[in-house]
């Protein structure tokens, strides 16, 4: 029964995020006159589906870990067929619907539209929360400094107000832990306000293994301070549409930049790769977050949507970014890469994706105590 509490929210989240991604491809493909035969959420055998007036088969399949838009005459949205014999199979009317015959800029827009749609979904979610629920603006005032902690050694004191961490302005007490744990510096730069005077402190955090608020074991950085809002009341303010949009854009940019920074440090061996999770961990966290209400669930949906959009922009064949890379070469060379060259890159991409999936799944099973 507990597993169902994880599975149902996970399937709902993945369905929405994948649908938005694929609809980005679909929308611009339709706009540019590309024929679409299938719009699938999930892989494998079809559970149910229907045909629309244009002949597109909309369907839900058994394996809910992705989806695809299949174009007329192509294997799928990523087909790179270029042989004239393939083109010669179709009439002039049918050729107008072939993805591979569309101008380079149109193919690029169609492919890029999927990841971009994921970023747009996150922007809309964050903006809606800021408008209808409000954004937290509770001041980050230190309530206690633990003795002999990194903060104590650096000279932080009770009633100091934290106004900046690594040049990131602090608008809410809720941001402190996030900025500390996403910092890539050995010593984190704090700017505090004490007696109306700004003071700069460099603090080297220590790492501990602890439980997050969902009960999951995580490694995190701490500096040894306790923060609590006045009278335990958080200050939430509903934003207007413009300020909500600016705030949501900043949130998306922060998540994107810190994710890229973490990935870079992980590849260089200076970040903890055990924190990289796959579908199993995402399912668990999604289920746990869903128990806390619709707003946390929508927030995690926005974060997953950003991650999906970002990953799909990586220049790895079989991902959207890989095909955009091919289009870049086509623009430079004046013609597509040869079929043989593309096949070589696709095999490399497949190996990288399988390796990443294996590694993330291993981390998930390890996190669940199976290994």
Last residue of a domain, one of 221, 237, 253: 237
Residue 37 lies in a domain: yes
Q: Are residues 120 and 85 in the same domain?
A: yes
Rounded to whole angstroms, the Cα distance separating 84 from 82 reads: 6
Same domain flag for 150 and 90: no
Residue 257 belongs to some domain of the structure: no
Are 72 and 35 a contacting pair, CB within 8 Å?
yes
Q: Answer with the one of 179, 209, 237 that is the final residue of a domain.
A: 237
Q: How much is the mean pLDDT over the chain?
A: 85
Q: Which two tokens stand for residue 52?
A: 């629309």
State how far the Cα of 290 lies from the Cα of 301, in Å rounded to an integer.
Answer: 10
Q: Residue 324's closest CA among 57, 114, 54, 123?
A: 114
Q: Which of 154-168, 177-191, 209-223 comes out lowest in average pLDDT? A: 209-223
Residue 29 lies in a domain: yes
CA distance 312 to 308: 6
283 assigned to some structural domain: no
Of the ranges 24-28, 208-212, 358-362, the best mean pLDDT one: 24-28
Return d(Cα 29, Cα 68) in angstroms, integer: 13
In a domain, 252, yes or no: no
- The sign of the CA dihedral 63, 67, 73, 78 is negative
29 shares its domain with 146: no
- Residue numbers of the domain that contains 75: 2-132+306-367
> Counting beta carbons within 10 angstroms of the beta carbon of residue 193, is it exposed (0 to 12), middle (13 to 18) or buried (19 or more)?
middle
Domain boundary among 215, 237, 259: 237
pLDDT in tens, 183-201: 878 899 999 999 999 999 9
For the chain, give the number of residues: 371
| Domain count across the chain | 2
Assigned domain for 183 exists = yes
Tokens of 198: 């700004």
* CATH number of domain containing 176: 2.30.42.10
Percent of the chain with pLDDT over 90: 52
User: How far apart, in Å, do the first and last CA atoms of the chain sit?
Assistant: 24
- Residue 250 included in any domain: no
Q: Which two tokens stand for residue 275?
A: 């924190």
The residues carrying an active-site annotation are 22
Residues 160 and 231 in one domain: yes
Which residues, including other chains, have CB under 8 Å from residue 193's CB and lie 6 or more apart? 160, 161, 163, 199
Residue corresponding to tokens 């591979």: 100
């Amino acid at each position: 029964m507990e597993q169902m509490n994880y599975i149902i929210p996970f399937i709902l989240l993945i369905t929405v995020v994948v649908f938005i991604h694929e609809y980005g491809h679909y929308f611009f493909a339709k706009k540019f006159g590309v024929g679409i035969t299938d719009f699938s959420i999930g892989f494998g055998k079809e559970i149910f589906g229907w045909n629309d007036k244009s002949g597109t088969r909309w369907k839900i399949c058994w394996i809910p870990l992705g989806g695809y838009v299949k174009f007329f005459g192509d294997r799928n949205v990523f087909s790179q067929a270029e042989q004239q014999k393939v083109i010669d199979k179709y009439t002039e009317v049918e050729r107008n619907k072939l993805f591979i015959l569309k101008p380079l800029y149109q193919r690029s827009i169609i492919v890029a539209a999927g990841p971009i749609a994921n970023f747009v979904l996150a922007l809309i979610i964050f903006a809606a929360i800021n408008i209808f629920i409000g954004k937290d603006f509770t001041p980050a005032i230190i309530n206690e400094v633990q003795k002999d902690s990194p903060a104590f050694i650096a000279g932080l004191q009770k009633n100091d107000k934290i106004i900046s961490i690594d040049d990131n302005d602090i608008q809410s007490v809720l941001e402190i832990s996030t900025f500390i744990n996403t910092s890539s510096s050995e010593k984190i730069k704090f700017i505090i306000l004490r007696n109306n005077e700004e003071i700069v402190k460099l603090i080297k955090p220590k790492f501990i293994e602890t439980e997050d608020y969902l009960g999951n074991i995580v490694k995190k950085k701490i500096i040894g301070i306790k923060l609590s809002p006045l009278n335990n009341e958080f200050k939430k303010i509903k934003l207007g549409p413009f300020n909500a949009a600016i705030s949501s854009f900043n949130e998306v940019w922060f998540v994107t930049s810190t994710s890229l920074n973490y990935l870079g440090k992980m590849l260089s061996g200076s970040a903890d790769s055990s924190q990289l999770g796959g579908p199993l961990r995402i399912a668990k966290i999604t289920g746990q977050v869903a128990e806390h209400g619709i707003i946390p669930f929508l927030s995690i949906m926005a974060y997953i949507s950003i991650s999906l959009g970002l990953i799909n922009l990586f220049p790895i064949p079989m991902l959207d970014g890989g095909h955009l890379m091919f289009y870049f070469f086509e623009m430079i060379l004046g013609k597509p890469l040869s079929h043989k060259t593309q096949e070589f890159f696709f095999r490399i991409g497949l190996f990288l994706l399988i390796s990443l999936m294996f590694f993330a799944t291993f981390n998930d099973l390890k996190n669940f105590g199976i290994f």
